[in-house]
Amino acid sequence: MGIFSSLSYEQREATVILQIGTFLEYFDLMLYVHMAVLLNDLFFPKTDPHIARLISATSFCLTFVFRPFGALFFGYIGDTVGRKSTIIITTIMMALCSAAMAMLPTYAQIGITAAWLVTICRIIQGLSSMGEIIGAQIYLTELIKIPERYPVVTFIGCADILGGFAALALATGVLALGMDWRAAFWIGALIAIVGTVARTALRETPEFVNAKHQLKKKLEKAKHIVDTDLVLKEDIMVNKKVNQKTSLAYFFINCARPVWFYFVYIHCALILKHSFNYSPQQVIQHNLFLAIIEFIATVFYARLSYKIYPLKIINVRVFVSFVFIIFVPYLFSNVTTAMQLFVIQGFICLFKPTQGPAAAIFIPHFPVFKRFKYVGFLYALARALMYIITSFGLVYLTETFGHWGLLIVLVPVLIGVKYGISHFEILEKAAGNYPQKNSSNLVNSA
């Protein structure tokens, strides 16, 4: 593959290990999400459809709502101890949770305690996944130069989607073969252990090592002349401030993914279940094909980012999404078959306005010693807030306004994404990274 031919052996090795690790981590995380139509009935009390939707929303949100705390915790480790240690710890946590969920008794066996136990496991999984994908993206951003950096970091997102796809495939197989659902989580635990072992081969990123080395030299020198605390206070690398507008722009851009994910995979799954009488197995199979479309689209955009500047790619997707979303309420009101719904979902997967190939553009605009904490926290906060707003908001908005209630959530998010992209375009132009109008070829302009 031409993109990887110019990478060193160490860079290719790190890329493969991190992609495999992210795949394994998100396989474990998304296994419950995609089996929720089955597992929520096993771990939570049965009730009327409205309350069931709220329970489903709650169980889904709790996976993400504590992520900002995980981001702060793992951000501290990542910015002080190192990127490598963080992603190894998170993989171990995911393995333990998957094993625990495989052994949990159901609501029929121990009552409401089952709901609490599965919720705790989901919270811990959410916390560990926070340090995972951000750690991998930061690691590769600091390790690889432009223009290879853009597609390589984007392939981490491909591994994320592929992990969800594998979770869907396994869930489909388990149900089709009549196997015990617990087998899926035992497989997930084993996979996470494999990912942990693989990541021990990683080295720390050169940029982080060099920054730590420079700081260590300053501190050693400072022992003979001044108070070390004063040196730390005056050190530019340690005390470089994070631009508030940059933080806000990054936050807005990351608000899109949770909204589009919940809309496509959860909200539409409920429509399939209640309007088309789909069984849990049929819903999972339906979402499996959507995951294939999303994966192919992400791979396409990753390869495209090697030639076309990523912010330009996202701008096109935002424009297409905005035009299409306006017609979604009308389309949903006239859907009469599950295939029609699938076509709408598939188009949304192709043009979802997420950060995609531009992740490697955003990360370097945060200071190296605050990068993991800020990028991770903003990423987690955006997802936590938007999953809560979307999960519960769509329940009430669609009940009150019908399908037109979707626009109340989707349109503001698109406007926020566009603001975020515009801000980073300004930063990239100031840094001299934005391609000239007469050429969008990154190889020539980098």
Residue among 31, 23, 30, 26 nearest 171 (CA): 31
* pLDDT at site 137: 86
What digits encode the pLDDT tens for the residues 74-89?
777 777 777 677 777 8
Range of the domain at 261: 2-204+240-445
**Residues 272 and 286: beta-carbon distance below 8 Å:** yes
Using CB atoms within 10 Å of the CB of residue 19, give its burial: 0 to 12 exposed, 13 to 18 middle, 19+ buried. buried
Q: Is residue 327 part of a domain?
A: yes
pTM summary value: 0.77
What digits encode the pLDDT tens for the residues 380-389?
899 888 888 8
> What is the arithmetic mean of pLDDT over 172-187?
76
* pLDDT at site 20: 77
Q: Is residue 27 part of a domain?
A: yes
CA distance 420 to 68: 20
* pLDDT at site 157: 78
Instruction: Say which residues have a Cβ less than 8 Å from residue 41's Cβ, sequence separation at least 6.
Output: none
Using CB atoms within 10 Å of the CB of residue 1, give its burial: 0 to 12 exposed, 13 to 18 middle, 19+ buried. exposed
Number of domains in the chain: 1
Q: Is residue 232 part of a domain?
A: no
Neighbouring-strand partners of residue 261: none
Mean pLDDT of all residues belonging to the chain = 80
Q: Is residue 166 part of a domain?
A: yes
What digits encode the pLDDT tens for the residues 27-74?
777 777 767 667 777 777 776 666 666 666 676 676 677 777 777 787
Domain with residue 281: its CATH number is 1.20.1250.20
Q: Is residue 233 part of a domain?
A: no
What digits encode the pLDDT tens for the residues 129-140?
666 677 788 888
With cut-offs at 50, 70 and 90, classify the pLDDT of residue 256: very high
CA distance 167 to 30: 6
List the structure tokens of 194.
């494999």
With cut-offs at 50, 70 and 90, classify the pLDDT of residue 218: low
Query: What value, to the nearest 5°, has the Cα angle with vertex 324 and ends 321 and 329?
Result: 125
List the structure tokens of 172.
């489909």
Q: Is residue 23 part of a domain?
A: yes
* pLDDT at site 443: 44
* Backbone angles phi and psi of 308, in degrees to 5: -115, 135
228 pLDDT higher than 50? no
Residue among 291, 99, 96, 92 nearest 187 (CA): 99
Using CB atoms within 10 Å of the CB of residue 231, give its burial: 0 to 12 exposed, 13 to 18 middle, 19+ buried. middle
Q: Is residue 75 part of a domain?
A: yes
Instruction: Say which residues have a Cβ less than 8 Å from residue 236's Cβ, sequence separation at least 6.
Output: none
Q: Is residue 225 part of a domain?
A: no
